[in-house]
């Protein structure tokens, strides 16, 4: 293992993270940690939880007993994760968030009270995970398994009082399905990764809701395409699951200008937020409802508005103002492309955009281009 250099001090919110027991001369430095993560298999092995379960046991089950929200769904997961975490932070809880994928670097996947994981904390957590890997089945892990373990280790060591975790792919067999969350937030479900999750919405919803047991009562279900709602509802009903559903137990209504009204079983509140697209407001409502399920109380206007102001979502409808204005978005399926097509005119007005699009070979290129064509 490369020799380590003693890192600089961490930002204040991460200062409570205790040092690892690994001696400095055998610990990875941040650059070595990044090289190790980047060098692991992206997928490349059997889909399942055996490796991750063994890894968590070796690491002492980090975050297992911390109040948590598991965010699953096809689109909107990162936005919902970071909003939920921001609301919990503003409500007074030291809150961690784990999201994927990243835009600029691995450390942005793990935040504590909105602050990215510092390099030294990353190195310490990565060393712990690296040293535990030889004991897991097959003696190796994937990139996502390793990074999930790094995030959970770092947040637990830093004294997180709540964590909000975004699933990577599916849910039932996803590496994040080791936290035993009392609250599961389900964002919009649509067709994606059909080769792994199934070729219809019901199958995909079943995989995503597989993070929770039969009879689970902590569901918070966000807005669903009307064509998909009955299939999602059918999966939950078949498994005896219950909770809050958008359009029933909670909702959001746009008002004048940036004003909107959010209703949950805890009451109603009016907030001002620059969220012009319908799906942005739906994600906001899901984040509010999810945070309230953790807090067992209603949020107040100031907590929501301050939380929103603190959220940063690079690559998620990110507007880079200039000449010309550039909109960056990670839409990677037709449903996401339709949401992007709805939002772009609200940002650019009558200006007709020029699109620069890149996607992996397994994506539905025709469906995405059809969705974007009207813009």
Task: Give the pLDDT confidence score for residue 126 in this predicted structure.
Answer: 96
Residue 239 CA: distances (Å) to CA of 49, 54, 234, 236: 21, 27, 9, 5
Task: Give the pLDDT confidence score for residue 21 in this predicted structure.
Answer: 59
Q: Give the long-range contacts of residues 1-7, CB within 8 A, separation 24 or more.
A: 1/26, 1/27, 1/28, 1/32, 2/28, 2/29, 2/31, 2/32, 3/29, 4/28, 4/29, 4/32, 4/123, 5/29, 7/118, 7/119, 7/120, 7/123
Instruction: Please tell me the distance from the alpha carbon of residue 350 to that of residue 256, in angstroms, as a whole number.
Output: 21
What domains can be seen in the chain, in order of their start residue? 12-310 (3.40.1190.10), 318-372 (no CATH)
Task: Give the pLDDT confidence score for residue 341 in this predicted structure.
Answer: 86
Task: Give the pLDDT confidence score for residue 301 in this predicted structure.
Answer: 96
Task: Give the pLDDT confidence score for residue 252 in this predicted structure.
Answer: 97
Across the strands, what pairs with 110?
Answer: 98
Above pLDDT 70, what percent of the chain? 91
Low-confidence ranges of the chain (pLDDT < 70): 1-13, 15-26, 44-45, 194-195, 257
- pTM, rounded to two decimals: 0.89
pLDDT, one tens digit per residue, over 8-17 is: 344 556 755 5
φ and ψ of 163, to 5 deg: -135, 145
The H or E element containing residue 190 is none
Instruction: Please tell me the distance from the alpha carbon of residue 245 to that of residue 264, in angstroms, as a whole number.
Output: 10
Length of the chain: 375
| Token pair listed for 352 | 């007709």
Task: Give the pLDDT confidence score for residue 134 in this predicted structure.
Answer: 95
Task: Give the pLDDT confidence score for residue 373 in this predicted structure.
Answer: 87
pLDDT, one tens digit per residue, over 316-360 is: 888 888 788 888 888 888 888 888 888 888 888 888 888 898 888
Task: Give the pLDDT confidence score for residue 26 in this predicted structure.
Answer: 57
């Amino acid at each position: 293992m490369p020799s380590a250099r003693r890192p600089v001090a961490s930002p204040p919110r991460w200062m409570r993270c205790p040092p690892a027991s690994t001696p400095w001369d055998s610990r990875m430095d941040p650059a070595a940690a990044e090289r190790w993560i980047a060098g692991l298999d992206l997928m490349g092995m059997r889909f399942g939880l055996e490796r991750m379960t063994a890894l968590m046991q070796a690491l002492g089950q980090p975050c297992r007993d911390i109040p948590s929200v598991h965010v699953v769904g096809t689109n909107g997961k990162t936005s919902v994760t970071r909003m939920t975490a921001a609301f919990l932070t503003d409500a007074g809880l030291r809150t961690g968030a784990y999201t994927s994928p990243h835009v600029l670097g691995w450390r942005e996947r793990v935040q504590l009270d909105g602050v990215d994981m510092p390099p030294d904390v990353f190195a310490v957590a990565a060393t712990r995970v690296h040293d535990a890997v030889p004991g897991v089945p097959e003696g190796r892990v994937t990139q996502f398994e390793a990074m999930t373990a790094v995030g959970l280790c770092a947040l637990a060591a830093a004294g997180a009082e709540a964590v909000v975790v975004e699933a990577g792919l599916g849910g039932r067999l996803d590496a994040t399905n080791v936290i035993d969350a009392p609250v599961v937030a389900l964002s919009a479900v649509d067709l994606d990764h059909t080769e792994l999750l199934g070729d219809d919405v019901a199958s995909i919803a079943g995989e995503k809701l597989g993070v929770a047991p039969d009879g689970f009562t902590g569901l918070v279900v966000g807005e669903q395409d009307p064509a998909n709602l009955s299939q999602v509802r059918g999966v939950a009903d078949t498994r005896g699951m219950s909770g809050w559903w958008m359009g029933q137990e909670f909702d959001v209504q746009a008002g004048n200008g940036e004003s909107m009204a959010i209703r949950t079983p805890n009451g109603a509140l009016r907030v001002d937020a620059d969220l012009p697209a319908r799906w942005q407001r739906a994600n906001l409502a899901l984040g509010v409802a999810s945070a309230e399920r953790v807090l067992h109380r209603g949020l107040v206007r100031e907590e929501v508005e301050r939380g929103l102001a603190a959220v940063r979502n690079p690559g998620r409808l990110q507007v880079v103002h200039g000449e010309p204005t550039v909109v960056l978005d990670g839409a990677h399926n037709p449903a996401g492309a339709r949401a992007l097509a709805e939002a772009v005119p609200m940002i650019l007005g009558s200006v007709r955009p020029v699109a620069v699009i890149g996607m992996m070979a397994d994506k539905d290129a025709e469906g995405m281009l059809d969705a974007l064509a009207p813009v």
